[in-house]
Amino acid sequence: MDTRQTLGDKTTRRGTGFFSFPDPVDEVAARTVAAGVVLQVVLLLATRNRLIFVPLCYGFLVRVMAGPKISPLGLLATRIVAPRLARHAKPVPGKPKRFAQGIGAVMSLAAAALSLLLPSFLPAAVVLALLGVAATLESALGFCLGCKIFAWLFRLGLVGYDDCPTCVIQ
């Protein structure tokens, strides 16, 4: 079973299965999640406490797989923060946001691996800093770097219309 939602003048499908990702996504919720990622990255860089990699990596992985359903940060953003800022709601296509979460998952896992495998924390810190910059751009400015990469892939034809019909109207 699926439901239909409207994004601009287009109707999109939103899967209701457990392993589905919302489409469209509320930009306020996405920016809230990004703010949480910035906080985690700053804590990691400041403390070098590798245990902080657990919620960071877990969050990205489950958001890629199932959207905000089992992500504490995603639930905070979609159930507490975004509803209180409903007048600022801005629906955006979900596929680019999922792609951006995938990039975040790869970067956070890479940073975690580097921190565990290498004697110096510096390589992990560099990857974390890049992740933090991308999350800050999303959170503070609404500029989703992963979404821009997705759009570039779309224009190159590596992502097709069937993969993201709502992306055409953006």
Q: What is the pLDDT of residues 38-75, one digit of tens each?
A: 999 999 999 999 999 999 999 999 999 999 999 999 99
| Model pLDDT for residues 75-89, shown as the tens digit of each residue | 999 999 988 987 778
Q: Which helix (H) or strand (E) holds 28?
A: helix 27-47
Amino acid at 134: A
Task: Supply the pLDDT for residue 4.
Answer: 40
Task: Supply the pLDDT for residue 164.
Answer: 72
Cβ atoms 33, 79 nearer than 8 A: no
CA dihedral 118, 121, 126, 131 (to 10 degrees): 100
Amino acid at 23: D
95 pLDDT exceeds 60? yes
| Model pLDDT for residues 150-167, shown as the tens digit of each residue | 989 988 888 777 767 667
